C-alpha cells in the first residue's frame, strides 16, 4: 500500500511539473510568435523607435518587444493604406496631387500673343531670356507661318490665321484661339502675356501656389482706377466691370475657364468682342464679371508699360515687367543695373541676369555689376 501511494505521489508531482513547464513555455512563446531566430529579433529592434538589442547576446525586455511589434503592425497598416491611396489617385487622375495647391511648372499653360512684325525683335528677346525658364509650358500665338521660329520654339508656335496688326478684331481673334487651346491642353492654370512682357517664372509659381485651381480665380491688375463700362449691343444696356490689363499679364484657374466655355469657347469669344466693341483683355473681364458674376483678384506685382516702371523695386518679388516710350520719347523702363542701355534697351537682359546671375549668358552682367560696386566704393 505504501509503495503504491509513493508511486502515485511521484507520478502526480511529475505531471504537475510538466504541466507547469508547458504553461510557462506557451506563455513565453506568445511574445515570440512569428520570429524564427535571434537574428530576426535583432533586425526588428533596429527598425523600431527604441533599439535595445546591441548584439546577439543582448537580452530583450518583454515590454520593449511588445512595443516593437505594435509599431511594426501600425507601420504595415499605414504602408498598405498609402499604397491603396496612391493607386486610387493614379486610377482617377494622373494630374491630381495630394496637395492641390502644390503645383509644378508642368501645370502651367503660358500663352504669348504676337505678330509677324515682331518675331525677330520682341519674340527673339523673350526666347533668349525668360522663356528659357519655361520652354515646354510656353506657346506663341501669331498670324503667319514661320519655319525658323517654329523650330526655335520646338513647334510651340501656333498660326491663328487671324489678321495681322493690332486691331481689335485681330487681338480678339488670337485671344479666342489662346482660350480654346488652353481648354484642350488640360492644364491647371492659364497665364496670358504680350510679346513685350518679361515673366518671372519662379515668382509666378509662388503666386499660383497660394490659390486652388479647382476654385474660380481671375488674377491680374487693372490699369484703371475705376470699372469700365460696355454697352451690350444685343440688349442696348450698359454694364460696368473690372478687367486685368493684358499687357501686364493675367492668370485664370481651370475651374473658372471651364465656366467660361459656354460664353467664350469654340470661337464665341470673338462674338462677345464684337458685341461690346472692346479689345480682348476687356472682353475676358466682361465675361467673368457680367456673365459669371465672378471678380478680379488684384495682384500688384503684375506690371505693364501703362505704369511708371522706373518705380518698380524688389525685382525678385515681381511677376512681370514691360517697357515703352512716352509721347515725349522718354523711356519707361525698369531701373536695374547691368548691361549698357545701347546693348539692352528694354532692360530685359539686365532683369534676367539680376534674377538668374548664375546663367552662362549672364557672366558679362556679373562682371559689369562687380565693376560698378568697386567704383561706388
CB 252 within 8 A of CB 215: no
CB 330 within 8 A of CB 314: no
Report CA torsion sign: 142, 140, 318, 260.
Answer: positive
Indicate the burial class of 85 (C-beta count within 10 angstroms; 0-12, 13-18, 19 or more).
Answer: exposed
Pull the grid cell for residue 222.
Answer: 487693372
H or E segment at 262? helix 254-264
Please list the active-site residues: 281
Residue matched to cell numbers 482706377: 225
Q: Is 29 helix (H, G, I), strand (E, B) or coil?
A: helix
CB 309 within 8 A of CB 334: yes
H or E segment at 32? none
CB 289 within 8 A of CB 295: yes
**DSSP readout, 44-70?**
HHHHSSS----STT----HHHHHHHHH
Residue matched to cell numbers 509644378: 104
CB 299 within 8 A of CB 207: yes
Residue matched to cell numbers 510656353: 138
Residue ranges with strand state E in the chain: 108-113, 138-142, 157-159, 189-194, 198-199, 218-220, 228-232, 237-241, 250-253, 297-298, 320-321, 324-325, 331-332
CB 66 within 8 A of CB 32: no
Taking the C-alpha atoms of residue 76 and residue 70, their distance in angstroms, rounded to an integer, is 10
Amino acid at each position: 500500500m505504501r509503495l503504491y501511494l509513493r508511486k502515485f505521489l511521484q507520478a502526480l508531482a511529475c505531471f504537475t511539473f510538466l504541466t507547469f513547464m508547458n504553461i510557462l513555455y506557451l506563455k513565453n512563446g506568445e511574445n515570440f510568435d512569428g520570429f524564427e531566430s535571434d537574428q530576426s529579433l535583432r533586425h526588428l529592434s533596429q527598425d523600431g523607435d527604441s533599439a535595445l538589442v546591441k548584439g546577439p547576446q543582448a537580452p530583450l525586455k518583454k515590454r520593449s518587444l511588445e512595443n516593437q511589434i505594435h509599431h511594426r503592425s501600425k507601420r504595415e497598416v499605414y504602408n498598405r493604406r498609402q499604397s491603396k491611396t496612391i493607386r486610387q489617385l493614379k486610377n482617377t487622375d494622373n494630374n491630381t496631387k495630394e496637395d492641390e495647391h502644390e503645383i509644378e511648372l508642368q501645370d502651367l499653360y503660358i500663352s504669348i500673343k504676337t505678330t509677324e512684325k515682331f518675331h525677330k525683335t520682341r519674340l527673339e528677346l523673350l526666347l533668349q531670356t525668360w522663356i528659357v525658364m519655361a520652354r515646354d509650358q510656353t506657346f506663341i500665338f501669331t498670324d503667319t507661318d514661320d519655319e525658323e521660329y517654329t523650330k526655335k520654339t520646338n513647334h510651340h508656335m501656333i498660326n491663328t490665321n487671324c489678321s495681322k496688326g493690332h486691331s481689335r478684331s485681330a487681338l480678339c481673334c488670337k485671344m479666342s484661339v489662346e482660350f480654346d487651346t488652353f481648354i484642350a491642353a488640360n492644364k491647371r492654370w492659364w497665364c496670358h502675356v504680350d510679346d513685350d512682357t518679361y515673366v518671372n517664372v519662379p515668382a509666378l509659381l509662388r503666386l499660383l501656389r497660394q490659390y486652388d485651381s479647382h476654385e474660380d480665380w481671375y488674377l491680374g491688375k487693372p490699369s484703371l482706377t475705376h470699372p469700365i463700362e460696355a454697352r451690350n449691343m444685343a440688349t442696348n444696356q450698359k454694364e460696368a466691370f473690372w478687367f486685368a490689363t493684358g499687357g501686364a499679364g493675367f492668370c485664370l484657374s481651370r475651374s473658372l475657364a471651364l465656366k467660361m466655355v459656354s460664353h467664350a469657347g469654340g470661337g464665341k469669344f470673338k462674338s462677345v468682342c464684337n458685341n461690346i466693341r472692346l479689345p480682348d483683355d476687356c472682353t475676358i473681364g466682361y465675361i467673368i464679371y457680367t456673365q459669371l458674376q465672378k471678380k478680379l483678384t488684384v495682384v500688384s506685382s503684375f506690371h505693364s508699360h501703362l505704369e511708371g516702371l522706373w518705380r518698380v523695386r524688389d525685382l525678385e518679388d515681381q511677376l512681370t515687367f514691360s517697357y515703352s516710350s512716352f509721347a515725349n520719347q522718354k523711356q519707361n523702363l525698369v531701373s536695374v543695373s547691368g548691361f549698357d542701355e545701347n546693348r539692352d534697351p528694354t532692360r530685359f537682359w539686365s532683369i534676367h541676369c539680376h534674377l538668374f546671375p548664375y546663367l552662362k549668358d549672364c557672366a558679362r552682367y556679373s562682371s559689369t555689376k562687380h565693376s560698378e560696386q568697386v567704383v561706388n566704393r
